Amino acid sequence: MELFAICHIGKCFILDYELYRYKIKEIILYHQKHNNLTRLACQSAWKFLMNGLPYYDCFEGVIVNELHFAREAARKLEELMKSVNRKRKEEERGRETKEELVLLRWLKTLERYFLSCTMWNEEFVGLLNSIVRVFLAAKDNYREVNFQCIHLLKEIADNKAIEIDVLLKGGAVNAVLEKMQLQTLNKYETYQFLLFFIELSIRLKIKKDEVKEEERKEMKMKMFEKMEEEGYEDIVTSFYGISQYINIYFHPQISLDISDYFVNV
């Protein structure tokens, strides 16, 4: 309960982060060896560290390389998915279960990290793959989990520290393309998916230094081929008729220039 309370310290008390972060590190390391924390306590400890990242990014190296956050978070997501009922009856949908609430807390903790992270290693590919599996498994049975995953994937695509190649390796691009073809897609999902691909398109159009220019061209070709294979252009074109409506409904506005959604080679 102390860990749960401390993770909810507000911004006005952010100086307490300096006081507690190394103690939290010790608690997490001990838990990794002895598995002594409850699910809530463990998640609360990680959430406390994530809360301080926008203000104390110098601790990010400890989170990534010493505490192996990506590996631990991926393991937690996989464990939680085993206890989630993927075939809930129609009348049970919309009711929050204990497992769903724990999943939501972890996904929101991940969002805090991806909004601020500047460091990345190969362990995050496994984490992204776990997020994608949760996303595909949630579907209509767990709407809040589904929506949180969609938002999280959009934030990951928006983070410049994360290479676009990782989104391909981790299965994020495939998952979003698959979901975009569903007839049950609602306006919120459409909005987030379009933002996901707008961000990828923008990033692939920006030229970097000459040394990495060949890598950028190769990635553009990979992305173009994946989109063409899945019929992405037809999907986006079919959404264009409701773009203005989505613009009115959501903020910030999405682009009304359809070329912004495509990757040209």
Tens digits of residue pLDDT in 73-108: 999 999 888 776 555 554 455 556 677 888 899 999
Q: Do 149 and 210 sit in the same domain of this protein?
A: no
Q: What is the mean pLDDT of residues 233-250?
A: 77
Q: Do 128 and 183 sit in the same domain of this protein?
A: no
Whether 81 contacts 15, CB under 8 Å:
no
Report how far residue 226's alpha carbon sits from residue 232's, in angstroms, rounded to the nearest whole number. 8
List the one residue out of 166, 147, 152 whose CA is nearest residue 223. 166
Q: Do 98 and 201 sit in the same domain of this protein?
A: no
Per the structure, the complete domain to which residue 259 belongs is given by: 164-265
Q: For residue 49, with 0-12 CB atoms within 10 Å meaning exposed, 13-18 middle and 19 or more buried, which class applies?
A: buried
Whether 43 contacts 2, CB under 8 Å:
no
Of residues 188 and 125, more confidently modeled: 125
Report how far residue 67's alpha carbon sits from residue 29's, in angstroms, rounded to the nearest whole number. 7
Q: Do 86 and 133 sit in the same domain of this protein?
A: yes
Phi and psi torsions of 163, nearest 5°: -65, 145
Return the top range by mean pLDDT from 106-120, 136-150, 178-192, 246-260: 106-120
When divided into structural domains, the chain yields a total of 2
Q: Do 206 and 231 sit in the same domain of this protein?
A: yes
Q: What is the mean pLDDT of residues 113-119?
A: 87
Q: Do 11 and 126 sit in the same domain of this protein?
A: yes
Global pTM value? 0.85
Predicted pLDDT at 137: 85
Q: Which of 30-39, 143-152, 157-166, 201-210 has the lowest mean pLDDT?
A: 201-210
Q: Which two tokens stand for residue 30?
A: 């001990």
Q: Do 28 and 51 sit in the same domain of this protein?
A: yes
Q: Do 175 and 112 sit in the same domain of this protein?
A: no
pLDDT at residue 242 tops 80: no
pLDDT at residue 217 tops 70: yes
Of residues 182 and 68, more confidently modeled: 68
Q: What is the mean pLDDT of residues 238-261?
A: 75
Predicted pLDDT at 85: 55
Instruction: Point out the domain boundary residue: 127, 162, 197.
Output: 162
Q: Mean pLDDT score of the chain, rounded to an integer?
A: 83
Q: Do 158 and 104 sit in the same domain of this protein?
A: yes
Q: Do 19 and 134 sit in the same domain of this protein?
A: yes
Q: Do 196 and 148 sit in the same domain of this protein?
A: no
Instruction: Point out the domain boundary residue: 132, 162, 192.
Output: 162
Instruction: Point out the domain boundary residue: 162, 196, 224.
Output: 162
Taking only the tens place, the pLDDT of each residue in 12-68 is 455 567 778 889 999 999 999 999 999 889 999 998 888 888 777 788 999 999 999
Of residues 191 and 98, more confidently modeled: 191
Q: Do 156 and 183 sit in the same domain of this protein?
A: no
